[in-house]
């Protein structure tokens, strides 16, 4: 094994590279080199240290051990947002901040209806039956990126792409997260729900991919049985950590198979519930 092979850390470079952490490390390398320049009075040592530091960051992803924890602690959310590294759990159901009334669309599609006391919404029996009718045959079939792209109406040569993300998927452009599925079960729910909505919701084909994702994600919250195993759905609170972020989420998951159907920013959920 070569020296470069021993230096290389695939978990922290390439597609896995964390740009806030990289920026922090480059800044440290520049400060260190500048300090040496002032102390040494020559350029050979500072330049050598800078080159070695950049090489370490390139091959290892970091210069200073523990960089993710330092980034979590000291970089504010506003800075992380510049790198698209701010916390990204979904917003509360029915969020119409982009001018789309999600719940209104689903009521118009006869997918949701008011509960008996009018205090909440629920799936209509007709849509529930149509949805489950589509889920059944798909349980034994793997959900792939193309299925989700079709569900969101993403054109074949669009800059928006659906890609694997751990054991699930995300839809993203070069700079923006469009949609995320915390499990293959969540993806199964959306692919089959999109098929059912296509027959019921006028104008469904004209909705932008991000708006379709909002509608489908909201529908997932009304499931009372897991699409994968038909186990009961329950909610729980917990923390989700990325390389340099940690945030509290409300998770909707199956109590039998453990599949996560939805992860929601808990602060947003509580703020919406209080309105």
Asked if residue 27 has pLDDT above 80, the reply is yes
Q: How far apart are CA 36 and CA 56, in angstroms?
A: 18
Least confident of 65-74, 84-93, 180-189: 84-93
**Where residue 131 falls among pLDDT bands split at 50, 70, 90?**
very high
Asked if residue 92 has pLDDT above 50, the reply is no
> From the DSSP assignment, how many helices (H) and strands (E) are in the chain?
11, 8
Tell me the pTM: 0.66
The per-residue pLDDT of the chain, averaged, comes to 80
190 contacts 214 by C-beta, under 8 angstroms: no
- What percent of the chain shows pLDDT beyond 90? 40
Residue 192's Cα: distance from chain center in Å? 20
- Token pair in block for residue 43: 């350029």
Q: What confidence score (pLDDT) does residue 86 get?
A: 42
CA distances from 168 to 32, 107, 110, 259 (A): 40, 29, 29, 11
The residue extents of the domains of the chain are 3-82, 102-222
Higher pLDDT, 34 or 93: 34
180 contacts 216 by C-beta, under 8 angstroms: no
CA distances from 163 to 13, 145, 180, 267 (A): 18, 6, 10, 28
- Count of C-beta atoms within a 10 Å radius of residue 22: 20
Q: What confidence score (pLDDT) does residue 66 get?
A: 61
What is residue 114's three-state secondary structure? strand
Which uninterrupted H or E stretch holds 20? Answer: helix 19-40
> Residue 28: exposed, middle, or buried by beta-carbon count in 10 A (0-12, 13-18, 19+)?
middle
Closest by Cα among 237, 243, 234, 244 to 266: 237
Least confident of 145-149, 159-163, 166-170, 174-178: 174-178
């Amino acid at each position: 094994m070569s020296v470069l092979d021993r230096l290389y850390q695939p978990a922290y470079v390439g597609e896995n590279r964390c740009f806030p952490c990289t920026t922090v490390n480059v800044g440290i390398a520049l400060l260190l080199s500048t300090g040496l320049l002032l102390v040494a009075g020559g350029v050979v040592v500072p330049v050598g240290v800078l080159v070695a530091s950049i090489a370490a960051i390139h091959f290892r992803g970091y210069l200073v051990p523990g960089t993710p924890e330092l980034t979590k602690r000291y970089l504010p959310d506003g800075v992380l947002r510049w790198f698209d590294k701010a916390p990204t759990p979904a917003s509360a159901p029915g969020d119409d901040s982009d001018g789309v009334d999600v719940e209104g669309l689903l009521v118009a599609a006869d997918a949701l209806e008011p509960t008996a006391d009018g205090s909440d919404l629920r799936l209509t029996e007709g849509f529930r039956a149509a949805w489950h009718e589509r889920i059944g045959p798909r349980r034994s079939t793997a959900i792939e990126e193309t299925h989700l792209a079709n569900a969101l109406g993403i054109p074949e040569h669009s800059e928006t792409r659906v890609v694997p993300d751990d054991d699930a998927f995300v839809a993203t452009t070069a700079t923006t997260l469009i949609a995320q599925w915390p499990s293959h079960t969540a993806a199964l729910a959306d692919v089959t729900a999109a098929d059912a909505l296509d027959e019921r919701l006028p104008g469904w084909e004209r909705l932008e991919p991000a708006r379709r994702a909002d509608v489908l994600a909201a529908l997932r919250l009304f499931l009372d049985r897991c699409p994968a195993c038909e186990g009961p759905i329950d909610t729980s609170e917990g923390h989700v950590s990325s390389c340099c972020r940690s945030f509290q989420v409300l998770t909707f998951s199956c109590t039998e198979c453990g599949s996560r159907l939805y992860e929601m920013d808990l602060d947003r959920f509580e703020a919406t519930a209080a309105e």
